[in-house]
Chains A and B, each alone.
Chain A
Amino acid sequence: MSSNLDQLYRRVIMDHYKNPRNKGSIEDGALTIDMNNPTCGDRIHLTLQVEDGKIQNAKFDGEGCSISMASASMMTQAVKGKTVEEALQLSSTFSEMMLGKDYDDSIELEDIESLSGVSQFPARIKCATLAWKAMEKGVSLDKD
């Protein structure tokens, strides 16, 4: 059993789950996105501070399983300091990874790479993509 599970629950994931990065909420002037996964109750509250097309800061709050919360932690870590364009590119690379497709490995994925095993667990893909969908929605608000 454990060997299969270890593909899903990598040590890096559990580290992000137990010690989430960027937990909390940016108070002033931030873009705010609330999203949930209606089939299971996972919930994310994401705040993004975008200036001059660059994500200066990102924080999240929420409730959910290890995969959804670890993914949120990794996402905020990854997009901080990136331009909106770079963040969206990373997001589409992540989607391809979740679908089990060959993805662009020229992009530095770091911790995010540890979530690749999720593609083997179809029921859990939505958990991993929730935070990324919230980020995509957030930066689209900035354009309006």
Chain B
Amino acid sequence: MLNTKEIRSYFPILDQEINGHPLVYLDNGATSQKPRQVIEAIKKYYEFENSNVHRGVHTLGNRATDSYEGAREKVRKFMNAKSTKEVIFTRGTTTAINMVAQSYGLANLKEGDEIVITHMEHHSNIIPWQQLAKRTGAVLKYIDLEADGTLSLEKVRETITNQTKIVSIVYVSNVLGTMNPIKEITQIAHEHGAVMVVDGAQAAPHLKLDVQALDCDFLAFSGHKMCGPTGIGVLYGKEALLEKMEPIEFGGEMIDFVGLYDSTWKELPWKFEGGTPIIAGAIGLGAAIDFLEEIGLDEIEQHEHELAAYAMQKMSAIDGLTIYGPTDPAKRAGIVTFNLDDVHPHDVATVLDMSGIAVRAGHHCAQPLMKWLQCVATARASFYIYNSEEDIDSLVTGLVSAKEYFNDVF
């Protein structure tokens, strides 16, 4: 277990009461809180370095450029990419996946080709492919899930064919907590000549990324779920692929030479970063990476497995509580999605909120998965580095009183 007491002390927001109770923040799947180190880095940028990048000859311009490009190098190392040419700053996971669909997808797919995803995807890894399929005449196919919410490689093999051009799969499910065998799936995709896209939104905060070991072609993640600010994310792409792809946003910063009727692009990665980039966001993300690496990504993953195991053990002791997803805690990240018999998840969330406990209730941007689970909505507790077993005890106490409140009082 991590030293959550010390870690908590870095997060000013956690030191407050909500509805008369100390805040227990268990909605990290939606967004994580931000440590002082990140807030300070952004503040320092605005107070001492703020300037546009890659433009000014002046000193501030250099400082800002160094910090921005320094953040890119931190991201490269964080996910073990070969080169900073492969690190594109975006607004987040959603933008990154859309970039792949619109740039790579539109240029390489034609009628009859296949795009393969799964039933456990977030809307941001479904809709860009639906749209691409509509525009190109490609077919969108879903890999079916096993009863426990995992993927079997057998079904992966059955679904991916020689017509498949793109496979796009979530690394860690934001609802089920399932950790998918991305490396193995990538290999299968490559055997059929397809490119592999990974939605890493719930993976980057919680485990050690290694894009070279995975051998995936693209990977997307968001800064705000990993202690960084909102509005910044990353698209990783293999250099050889990115080199051949066209930008989707045109304007300043991304050009080499502009003529009256035609223009040429800067080299990678800047050709994909049209306009003034998200400078403060990238610097904040860099600081978040420093912070997480100081704690250790392997340690973070371990901490979350332990919390998930503890939560599953305690929560399954509550009569009438159903937990969705893998039953083996070793196969899941620190995400526990559940329902309480006869109490709608909204009502669960409101009762918990009155005790200062923040959980998510709803469809978690995964309506097709809700359909697969055959429920309209669920409640979700998702853990991070500052959560402890005591937080889970509070959750369990809150759930028991929610149940009593709804079953006994009325």
- Does chain A have a CB within 8 A of B61? no
The reply on A1 being an interface residue by CB < 8 A is yes
| Contact residues, A82-98 vs B (CB, 8 A) | none
CA distance A14 to B347 in the complex (A): 12
Chain A residues within 8 Å of B406, by CB: 14, 66
CB-based contact B376/A64 at 8 Å: yes
Expressed in whole angstroms, the Cα–Cα distance for A39 and B347 within the complex equals 15
- Whether B405 lies near A5 (C-beta < 8 A) is yes
Q: Is the CB of A4 within 8 A of B344?
A: no
Q: Tell whether, in the assembled complex, residue A127 and residue B401 are in contact, meaning their CB atoms are under 8 Å apart.
A: no
A interface, size bucket: 20 to 34
Q: CA–CA, A40 to B351, complex, Å? A: 16
Among residues of B, the one whose C-beta sits closest to the C-beta of A8 is B350
Whether, in the assembled complex, B354 has its beta carbon less than 8 Å from a beta carbon of chain A, the answer is: yes
CB–CB B363/A18 < 8 A = no
A80 to chain B, nearest CB (A): 25
Cβ 8 A contact of B410, one of A11, A39, A42, A67: A11
Chain B residues 376-410 with CB under 8 Å of chain A are 376-377, 401, 405-406, 409-410
- Give bound CA distance, A43 to B406, whole Å: 21
Query: With A and B bound together, what is the CA distance between A14 and B363 in angstroms?
Result: 23
B401 and A40 form a contact (CB under 8 A): no
| A1-33 interface with B by 8 A CB criterion | 1-2, 4-5, 8-9, 11, 14-15, 18
Which residues of A lie under 8 Å from residue B410 when comparing CB positions?
9, 11, 14-15, 18
Given contacts A64-B376, A124-B346, contact A40 B19 (CB under 8 A): no
Q: Are A40 and B355 in contact (CB under 8 A)?
A: no
B19 and A4 within 8 A (CB): yes
Query: What's the minimum C-beta distance from B91 to chain A, rounded to whole angstroms?
Result: 21
* CB <8 Å contact, A66 and B405: no
User: Quick check: A40 and B350 within 8 Å, CB to CB?
Assistant: no
Residues of A contacting B182 in the complex (Cβ-Cβ under 8 angstroms): none
Q: Is the CB–CB distance between B354 and A40 below 8 Å?
A: no
Asked if B211 is at the interface of the complex by the 8 Å CB criterion, the answer is no
In the complex, what residues of B have CB within 8 A of residue A64's CB? 344, 346, 376
Question: How long is the Cα–Cα vector from A66 to B343 in the complex, in angstroms?
Answer: 8
A2, A63, A124, A127: the one within 8 Å of B376 (CB)? A63
Bound-complex Cα distance A67 to B346 (A): 9
CA distance A40 to B370 in the complex (A): 11
How close is A50's CB to chain B, nearest CB, in angstroms? 29
Question: Is A65 in contact with B362, judged by CB distance below 8 angstroms?
Answer: no
Residue of A nearest to B348 (CB): A65
At the interface, is chain A mostly helix, strand, loop or mixed? Answer: helix
A41 in contact with B370 given A11-B410, A18-B410, A66-B344 (CB within 8 Å) = yes
Most buried by A among B361, B376, B405: B376
Q: What B residues does A14 contact at CB under 8 A? A: 406, 409-410
Residues of B106-127 whose CB lies within 8 A of A: none
- The reply to whether A41 and B377 form a contact with Cβ atoms under 8 Å apart is yes
Contact between A41 and B350 (Cβ–Cβ < 8 Å)?
Answer: no
A40, B362: Cβ atoms under 8 Å?
Answer: yes
State whether A65 touches B344 (Cβ < 8 A).
Answer: yes
Distance, CA A143 to CA B363, complexed state (A): 35
By beta carbon, the residue of chain B nearest A14 is B410
Contact across chains for B405 and A2 when beta carbons are under 8 A apart: yes
Instruction: Collect the chain B residues with CB atoms within 8 Å of residue A66's CB.
Output: 344, 346-347, 406
A38 to chain B, nearest CB (A): 9
Flag whether A103 is at the interface (Cβ < 8 A): no
B345 on the A face (CB < 8 A)? yes
Contact of A39 among B344, B362, B409 (CB under 8 A): B362
Q: Given A41-B376, A127-B346, are A1 and B401 neighbors across the interface (CB < 8 Å)? A: yes
Q: A40 contacts B405, CB within 8 Å? A: no
A63 to chain B: which residues have CB within 8 Å?
A: 376
Residues of A within 8 Å of B19, CB to CB, are 4
Measured CB to CB, the closest approach of chain A to B324, in angstroms, equals: 15
In the complex, are the beta carbons of A65 and B351 less than 8 A apart?
A: no
Q: Which A residues from 60 to 116 make CB contacts under 8 A with B?
A: 63-68
User: With A and B bound together, what is the CA distance between A15 and B409 in angstroms?
Assistant: 11
Q: 5 closest Cβ contacts across the A-B interface?
A: A65-B346, A65-B344, A14-B410, A40-B362, A41-B377
Chain A residues close to B by CB (< 8 Å): 1-2, 4-5, 8-9, 11, 14-15, 18, 39-43, 63-68, 121, 123-124, 127
Question: What would 19 A/B residue contacts be, using CB atoms closer than 8 Å?
Answer: A1-B355, A1-B401, A2-B405, A4-B19, A8-B350, A40-B361, A40-B363, A40-B377, A41-B363, A41-B370, A41-B376, A41-B377, A42-B376, A42-B377, A66-B346, A66-B347, A68-B346, A124-B346, A127-B346
7 extra interface residue pairs, beta carbon distance < 8 Å, beyond A1-B401, A9-B347, A18-B410: A1-B355, A5-B354, A39-B362, A40-B346, A41-B363, A64-B346, A127-B346
